[in-house]
Amino acid sequence: MSITQEHAEDQNLPYNVFAKACPSRGTLEHVTGRWGALTLGALREGSLRFNELRRRVDGVSEKMLSQTLQALERDGLVHREAQPTNPPRVDYELTPLGHQVAGHLLALIRCVEDRMDDVLAAREEYDGRQN
Amino acid sequence: MSITQEHAEDQNLPYNVFAKACPSRGTLEHVTGRWGALTLGALREGSLRFNELRRRVDGVSEKMLSQTLQALERDGLVHREAQPTNPPRVDYELTPLGHQVAGHLLALIRCVEDRMDDVLAAREEYDGRQN
C-alpha cells in the first residue's frame, strides 16, 4: 500500500500540517527549514550549480546543502541534472511544483525583509520592558 | 546605536535574508521554524490561550511553545495579553504585522497541503530510483 493510500484510508481527511502524523508536516519542514527556504528562494531565480548555490545561500555548509537538496529532490520540488561533461557538472532547478512553493516562500521572505525595521523596533521595545 | 542604525550604516543595503549576518535571517527562522510557522498559522484564526494553542499545534511541548511565543512576541508578531482574572488567563493574538506574515505562511501551508499527493508520488518515484 502506498503512503498516500495509507494516509487517506487511515484518516479519511485532507492533509493537515497541524496534525503531528500528517506527512504534509514533514514537507512543510523541508521547505521552511533553516536552509530549505533559502535554497528554494535562490533557485527561483534560475538553475544553479552546487557551488553557485552554496555561495548564494551564505553560510550553508557543503554537507547541509547536500542534505537539503536531497530532501527537496525527493519531495519533487527540485530537479537535479547531471551533465555528461568532464569534469561532471550538476545543475539544480525547480520543478513546476517547486516554483509554486518557492513563489509563496519568496512572498514571505520579501514581507519579512520589508518589515524588518518594525521587527527591530519591536525587539528594542520588548528588551526595554524586560530590564 | 540601535541595531537598525548599525545595520543600515554598516551595509548601506536593504535587508537580505541570503546574507548570513542580516537580522532578517533570524526573523525568517522564527517565522518558518518547526513551531513558529504552525503557531502563527494557528493564531491567524483568532486569539487563543496557551493551552488552546498547545492543543492546536499538535505535538509541541510546553517549553517549546513558550520559547516560540516569546521569540514571536519579541519580533512584534504576537501580542500577549494577561487578563487580571483568578486564575490568571493569558491570551495570545497576532499583531497587524503578525497577520501580514501569517497570511503568507498560510498561503504556503495550503499550497503544501494541496500538493501533498504530488509530493508523495515524487517520493515513491525517488525511492524507487535509489533501490
pLDDT, tens digit, 9 for 90 and up, residues A48-90: 999 999 999 999 999 999 999 999 999 999 999 988 888 888 9
Does residue B122 carry a pLDDT above 50? yes
pLDDT, tens digit, 9 for 90 and up, residues B31-56: 998 899 999 999 998 999 999 999 99
User: Which residue from A minimizes the CA distance to B127?
Assistant: A74
Rounded CA separation A119/B6 (Å): 15
Rounded CA separation A18/B58 (Å): 6
Grid cell, residue B12, equals: 548601506
Query: In this structure, are residues A105 and B17 in contact, taking their beta carbons and an 8 Å threshold?
Result: no
Tell me, yes or no, if A89 comes closer than 8 A to chain B by beta carbon: no
Torsion of CA A38, A41, A46, A49, to 10 degrees: 10
Does residue B3 carry a pLDDT above 70? no
CATH number of the domain that residue B110 is part of: 1.10.10.10
Does residue B10 carry a pLDDT above 50? no
Tell me, yes or no, if A1 comes closer than 8 A to chain B by beta carbon: no
Q: What local confidence, expressed as pLDDT, does residue A14 receive? A: 84
In a domain, A88, yes or no: yes
Q: How confident is the model at residue A10 (pLDDT cuts 50, 70, 90)?
A: very low
Cβ separation of A112 and B28 shorter than 8 Å? yes
Rounded CA separation B35/B92 (Å): 15
Q: How far apart, in Å, do the first and last CA atoms of chain A sit? A: 58
Mean per-residue pLDDT over chain B, rounded: 89
In a domain, B9, yes or no: no
Cβ separation of B113 and A15 shorter than 8 Å? yes
Beta bridge partners of A91: A49, A81
In a domain, B121, yes or no: yes
> B48 — phi, psi (to 5°)?
-140, 150
Mean per-residue pLDDT over chain A, rounded: 89
In a domain, B21, yes or no: no
Does residue A5 carry a pLDDT above 50? no
Domain count, chain A: 1
In a domain, B16, yes or no: no
In a domain, B19, yes or no: no
Contact residues on chain A for B126, CB-CB shorter than 8 A: 73-74, 76
Smallest CA–CA distance, residue B1 to chain A, in Å, is 11
Q: For residue B82, give its domain range.
A: 33-130
Please tell me the least confidently modeled range out of A2-6, A58-62, A63-67, B94-98. Answer: A2-6
Q: What local confidence, expressed as pLDDT, does residue A1 receive? A: 40
Q: Is the dihedral of CA A114, A43, B105, A122 positive or negative?
A: negative
In a domain, A22, yes or no: no
pLDDT, tens digit, 9 for 90 and up, residues A22-58: 999 999 999 998 899 999 999 998 999 999 999 999 9
Looking at residues B92-96, what average pLDDT do you find?
A: 97
In a domain, A4, yes or no: no
